Amino acid sequence: MRINRTYRVASSLALLFLIASCSKREMSSHEAEVAAAAAPAMGEAADAAAAAAPAERQEASALQAPGVTAAQLASDVVVQTDPQRRFIRTAQADFQVKDVYRTALAIEDEVAKQGGFVVDNDIQSQVQRVQSRPLGNGKRLELAEYRLQGALTVRVPSERTQVFLRAIASQMEFLDRRHFTARDAQFDLLRQQLARQRAQDEQQELGDAVQGGGKLGDKADAIHARGEARTSRDEAVIAQKEFEDRVAYSTITLSLSQDVQVRRSERVDVDAVFRDNGPGFFRQLGDALAVGWRGGQQAVVALAALWPLWLVVLAMVIGWRRWRRKPAAG
């Protein structure tokens, strides 16, 4: 009997094990079918997300990317060439930066790198408003709102103007304004050359006149005129050199500004110090009485100085009273 019972229990356990294994296999096959059916949909969703990601990244970069690109400072005005023309190039840019001092130094380094030089470098802070409040113990908290602004004027070789402007674009946070000009100055150059030639011809003619003889007075006038001709010749030469320099080197004016900053500082509260170290109540009262007494004395002296006026007033009062007492005619 015990053997039969043991056999039955073992058979029941084996049967239960087989049923559980079959159910697991069915569940696994069902899950595989579900996963296989869902795989295409998941793949399509992943492809759509991958396709949408570049557009989202591009939009995010367009909204968040700071700075100025080199293309914003490019123009044919500063690179155009013509063998028959001479251009005087100028450029102006107004922009905002993170740090005015650091940017000014970087611009100066770039100018030297391009073979140019700095004409002017001016940086100043403009205080917009100041607020203060007492802190106690003779101290006062002061908050000053200010903005840093810089102005640089640089000269770079004309053929390097575009390269220089592109190089400093990385220093800019926001470009407010840019302006390029290329003035055709070939006729100005011709005018300077003709003026120089006239001065040389005039000097030669005056030299011949002096050597030709004549009266002493005429020679003196000719020598003086020749000196003036030399001066005109020198001025013409200098003007031509200046003109050639303006053609060879472009002039670039840069205006840079920084975001508003707040300076926090503790200062001595002068009013509080004087108030705490000033005289006491009775001392102030005595000083006030003394001031009033001196003021009264001065008032009496001033009234005494007007004694002729008082005599006139007294005579008018006496005359008016007599006129009032005079009986009326019957």
Query: pLDDT tens across 32-63, in order?
Result: 454 444 444 444 544 544 444 444 444 444 44
What is the residue whose two structure tokens read 């005087």? 88
What is the residue whose two structure tokens read 């399509």? 44
**Residue 232 one-letter amino acid:** S
pLDDT tens track for 115-131: 999 999 999 998 889 88
Name the phi and psi angles at 2, rounded to 5: -65, -35
Q: What is the reported pLDDT for 60?
A: 41
CA dist., res. 233 & res. 194, Å (int): 11
Which regions in the chain score pLDDT beneath 50? 1-3, 9, 22-32, 34-43, 45-46, 48-65, 216, 330
Sign of CA dihedral 187, 192, 193, 199: positive
- For residues 224, 227, 232 and 233, what is the CA-based torsion angle, rounded to 10 degrees? 140
**Residue 91 one-letter amino acid:** A
Residues in contact with 147: Cβ distance below 8 Å, sequence separation at least 6, in sequence order:
125, 126, 128, 257, 258, 259, 260, 261
Residues in contact with 182: Cβ distance below 8 Å, sequence separation at least 6, in sequence order:
77, 78, 80, 87, 88, 89
Q: What is the reported pLDDT for 17?
A: 55
Name the phi and psi angles at 152, rounded to 5: -125, 140
Residue 168 burial (CB < 10 Å; 0-12/13-18/19+)? buried
Full-model pTM: 0.55
